[in-house]
C-alpha cells in the first residue's frame, strides 16, 4: 500500500491536457455551461421554469446540465446567460502554439 503517486501539474485546461484538438473551444463551452447552471441554481429554477423565463427549451437546459454541450455555439450560450439576466464579459488572448515556434527557422 505504499504506491507512489506521481503528481502532474495541469495546464489549466483539462481538454488541452488530454490532447483534445479544440481544447480552447471546449474549455470555453464548459465555463459558460457552468455559469448557466450556476445562474439557474442560484435562482432555484427547474428546467421548465428556466424555459418559461427565457424561451429556451427545457431540453436545452437539461443538455447543459448533463454536459452535453458540443452542439452549442459560444454565442448561443452567451445569449442564454443574457436571458437569465447575467452580464457576460469575454476576454480572448492569443498565444502561438509551442510546436509552431519550435518549427520556425531562426533569422
Cell of 50: 428556466
* Residue, of 95 and 107, whose pLDDT is higher: 95
Residue showing cell 464548459: 30
- Residues 81-101 have pLDDT tens digits of 999 998 888 888 887 766 644
- Residues 33-65 have pLDDT tens digits of 999 999 999 999 999 999 999 999 999 999 999
Structural domains of the chain, ranges and CATH numbers in brackets: 15-86 (1.10.260.40)
Task: Return the SS3 of 52.
Answer: helix
With 80 as the cut, is the pLDDT of residue 107 above it? no
Task: Give the single-character DSSP code of 12.
Answer: S
CA angle 78, 80, 82 (to 5 degrees): 70
pLDDT band at 7 (very low <50, low <70, confident <90, very high): confident
Amino acid at each position: 500500500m505504499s504506491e507512489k503517486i506521481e503528481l502532474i501539474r495541469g495546464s489549466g485546461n483539462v481538454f488541452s491536457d488530454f490532447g483534445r484538438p479544440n481544447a480552447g473551444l471546449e474549455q470555453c463551452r464548459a465555463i459558460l455551461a457552468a455559469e448557466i447552471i450556476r445562474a439557474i441554481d442560484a435562482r432555484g429554477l427547474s428546467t421548465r421554469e428556466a424555459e418559461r423565463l427565457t424561451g429556451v427549451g427545457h431540453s436545452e437546459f437539461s443538455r447543459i446540465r448533463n454536459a452535453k454541450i458540443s452542439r452549442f455555439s459560444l454565442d448561443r450560450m452567451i445569449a442564454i446567460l443574457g436571458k437569465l439576466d447575467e452580464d457576460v464579459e469575454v476576454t480572448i488572448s492569443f498565444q502561438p502554439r509551442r510546436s509552431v515556434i519550435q518549427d520556425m527557422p531562426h533569422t
